[in-house]
Structure formats: C-alpha cells, structure tokens
Amino acid sequence: MIAEETLLHELKQLETQARAFEVLVNTYKERLYWHIRRIVLNHDDTDDVLQNTFIKVYKNINGFKGDSKLYSWMYRIATNEALTFLKKKSNKLGISDTELKDKMVSNLQADVYFEGDEIQLKLQKAIATLPEKQKLVFNMKYYQEMKYEEISAILDTSVGGLKASYHLAVKKVESFLKED
C-alpha cells in the first residue's frame, strides 16, 4: 500500500492527481462504504453519500494541511455527509429525526439488500434508539473494530469519553435485545 505522505503529495500535483485519486478511492471505498451504510442503512443512499464524500475529498484535497491522518479526515467528511443527508431527508419528509430513524429501520425488512434475520433486525432497532454519538461509536468499535485512538481523531472526543459512550451503548443494545 502506498505511503500516505506520498499519496497526499501526488493528490496535490496536477500531473499525478487523477491516478492518485483512483488509488485513494480503491484504498478506502469499502471502509467508507460500510461506515456510511451503518448510518444511512439503505444501499442507494449510501452510494450517493459515498460518492459525495469522495467528490468533496477531491475538491478540497489542496486545502488539507495534514494536521490529521488522511483517513481520519475522510472519515470525518463521510460522517458529516451521512448525518447531513439524514437531516435533509427528515426535513424533506417533514418528520423528526426519531421518526425518520424508525421509518428507515422498518423499511429494512422489505430491503432487498438487507439479509438479516430477526435478531439482526432487532439489533438495528436497538441501534436506532441510541443517541447519535453512541451510535457512531458503537458501529465504529463493534463492527468496524476501529481503535479508540482512531475513533477519537474522527469524532474529536477523548478516548476516555469514547469508552464511556461505548460502554453505555453496548449495555443499552444488550438490554433492548433481551426484551421480548
């Protein structure tokens, strides 16, 4: 895998930018896809947000000063794009964030790209009840298995705060799954 510094340098040079951008997309597309998917749930919406994320990265790469890791910056953009997408969707439908989350989870059963069983569907309902930060931390820690330090750089929260949030999130999800 190309070193991040080299990739960043090539992304900022006109003659190497196109090729470097292709490498960037290939390197991070899956990780970012699943990060976004766990926020917006639906494949088509994820595709939109993922493309928006990469386009935003492409357009703003010259402004990236390297004060954080490239992937932390990209994850931050992806997170913000996904959350903004949900906000716009709830405004467009004229419903609250909570109502939108419930609607999205109830649509999963009919979603051709959701192959989960009853417990996995119940898990999504449980995750939908979590406050925003706990949901993000839970998904990033439990399913993406990111280190706390990586999550801290993306969400701009201390490792200690993240551990507390994660602990709360896991307890709530477990408790929800135990209910009938």
Partner 1 sequence: MNNNNNKKNFKTPEGYFEGFSDRLLDRISNANNDPKSSLLPESDGFSLPDGYFDSLNKSIQDRLNDNAPKVIALNSRRKLYYYAAAAVAAIGLLAIGLRTNNTSEPTFEGLANTEIEEYFEFNDLGLTTYEIAEVIPVDELDISDIMDDKLEEENIIDYLDNSIENIEELNLTEYEY
- Give the residues lining the site for partner 1 (CB under 8 A): 22, 25-26, 29-30, 33-34, 37-38, 41, 43, 47, 50-51, 54-55, 58, 113-117, 119-121, 123-124, 131-134, 141-143, 147-148, 157-161, 163-168, 170-171, 173-174, 177-178
CB nearer to partner 1: give 79 or 134.
134
Question: Do 142 and 170 contact (CB within 8 A), yes or no?
Answer: yes
Radius of gyration in angstroms for the set of CA atoms belonging to the chain, rounded to a whole number: 17
CB of 59 to partner 1, least distance (A): 8
CB of 131 to partner 1, least distance (A): 5
For the chain, the straight-line distance linking the first and the last C-alpha, in angstroms and rounded, comes to 47
Tokens of 88: 């716009």
CB of 55 to partner 1, least distance (A): 6
C-beta neighbour count of 49 within 10 angstroms: 26
- Burial (CB < 10 A; 0-12, 13-18, 19+), residue 120, is exposed
CB nearer to partner 1: give 8 or 164.
164
Q: 33: which residues sit within 8 A by CB, 6+ positions away?
A: 46, 50
Q: 79: which residues sit within 8 A by CB, 6+ positions away?
A: 35, 39, 136, 154, 155
CB of 115 to partner 1, least distance (A): 5
CB nearer to partner 1: give 67 or 145.
145
CB of 14 to partner 1, least distance (A): 14
